Chains A and B, each alone.
Chain A
Amino acid sequence: MLPRLLAGPPLAAGAESLDDHRRRLGAMPRSADPRTIIDTLTASGLLGRGGAGFPVGRKWATVAERAAGTAVVLANGAEGEPLSAKDRTLMATRPQLVLDGAVLAADAVGAERIVLYVGSEHLAARTALERALAERRAGRGSGRDLPISLVAAPPTYVAGEESAAVHFVNDGDGRPTGTRPRPYERGVDGRATLVQNVESLAQAALIARFGEAWYREPGGASTRGTALVTVGTAAGRGVTEIAIGTTVAGLAEAAKVTTDVRAVLLGGYFGGWLSAGEARDLPLDPVAMRTAGSAFGCGVVSFLAADACGVEATARIIDYMAGQSAAQCGPCVFGLRAIADATARIAGGTAVADDLARITRWSGQLAGRGACRHPDGAVGLMQSALRVFADEFALHQRTRRCPVARAHSRAA
């Protein structure tokens, strides 16, 4: 039953060819009314896999209503999240499935152009997609002739945000533009634009072939289907496909995470920390995770080893997030930098008197005060760290030393 997206030749073999892809999965079914797939996707319950988890069927329906046949599909493979590797892995190994999904979406919403927006640093993914497009051009004859272009996304955290993606394709500026108009209203070239994560598109291509009941066979109590996740440990990271609802402990076992764990970062830099105890039996299911104050996000499950310091790990992340501000909005520019600097002082043993109190106050003030949600994501992560690592933060602030490092030097 699993894997599905990653079924087929071993990932180490690289990109699956068009011939192998068609032999394994068959051609995409042709429908008299390409819009029927939208109802199928809605019935499947498929949620977007870029981070926000918006229902895919509803998103396609919204664009289709406005498109009048001139929409644009922007397949989002920017994957600027440092802890995530699932999109680049999918694009590099199953490029034809991603293209199937992009073409399916274009037919369904009434688009006359597809843009593959792929992180400039994801070289294997870009090469695989270029070859996949060449294979399709060589074997032309099925379907209408849609222009598909490959655009290298800037290697920044915010470039994958959907208004930033549209902004970059239009003007070469990968910064978010604020809230209106949204891409589904007016996006690439001023047209209604469907910005959809590449995994979501690949999932849609399988659902078009095998149906919503098939999609819903595996899954969790409230959300069905499978998802790609990136498992991170001190040793590195790996991408695997899980049945949604698999617990964190179940994933750790399957991924052979054997070290003792202090905490788990879920959902990436836009997600948050849970203690090892809180995370253990938590199902990786967007609804269950939201209830637990966590987020599925883009499917990052990153394990912090018991001998690592949560304050230091958080200081690194928040410093990165401050550096990745698009530098357009004051609260994000100054607030995140101040939080990052104070956190670095606490982690490094040079805290000044009220650093911890100030971080706490600032972290409560930034949400909703940027043109995009970059500051919201960063302070959400910060607040989860202040809760999960509360004792460590307090000890760092008071003693100006790292209690984790001290415990280890004692043990050694």
Chain B
Amino acid sequence: MPAPSEPVGIVIDRIRCDGHGMCAELLPELIELDDWGYPIVHGTTVPGDLGEHARRAVAACPVLALRLRPVPRATMPAPAATRVPASTSGG
């Protein structure tokens, strides 16, 4: 569990997520649901004043699909955005 002061982002295990929607109810500032009830997360970092709400949303997920992951302060340069997959057939 990241220390309370550390900047964190919300990560969703998409295979586990069943679209219960508790997260969007508890953290509407950052999470909305799509037309089928699956979460869309806005922003890469949870603002400090929402940290407690985010932790509550993580704890409330009935299938434990949510977690908080530390976001490095000096954000690493992201790999060039392409629309090709991490690997369709193994590079």
A394 at the interface (CB under 8 A from B): no
**Interface window among A235-243, A325-333, A395-403:** A325-333
With most chain A CB atoms within 10 A of its CB, the pick from B18, B36, B38, B82 is: B82
A330 touching B90 in the complex, CB below 8 Å, given contacts A51-B84, A295-B82, A297-B84: no
Measured CB to CB, the nearest residue on chain B to A290 is B82
- Which residues of chain B have a CB within 8 Å of any CB of chain A? 12-15, 17-19, 34-38, 40, 80, 82-91
- Which residues of chain A have a CB within 8 Å of any CB of chain B? 48-54, 56, 59, 74, 76-81, 87, 117, 160-162, 165, 177-178, 195-197, 200, 267-268, 270-272, 290, 295-298, 328-332, 334-335, 338, 362, 365, 369-374, 376-377, 380
Contact A178 B13 (CB under 8 A): yes
B17, B37, B40, B82: which contacts A365 (Cβ < 8 A)? Answer: B40
Q: Least Cβ distance of B83 to chain A in Å?
A: 4
A50 touching B17 in the complex, CB below 8 Å, given contacts A334-B36, A335-B34, A369-B40: no
Measured CB to CB, the nearest residue on chain B to A47 is B91
Contact B17 A329 (CB under 8 A): yes
Contact A330 B38 (CB under 8 A): yes
A338, A362, A376: which contacts B85 (Cβ < 8 A)? Answer: A376
Contact A196 B17 (CB under 8 A): no
| Complex interface: chain B residues within 8 A of A376 (CB) | 83, 85
* Complex A-B: 18 CB contacts under 8 Å: A50-B90, A52-B84, A76-B89, A81-B89, A162-B89, A196-B90, A197-B89, A197-B91, A295-B83, A295-B84, A296-B84, A298-B88, A330-B14, A330-B36, A330-B38, A365-B34, A369-B14, A376-B83
Contact A52 B80 (CB under 8 A): no
Contact A267 B84 (CB under 8 A): yes
CA distance A75 to B21 in the complex (A): 41
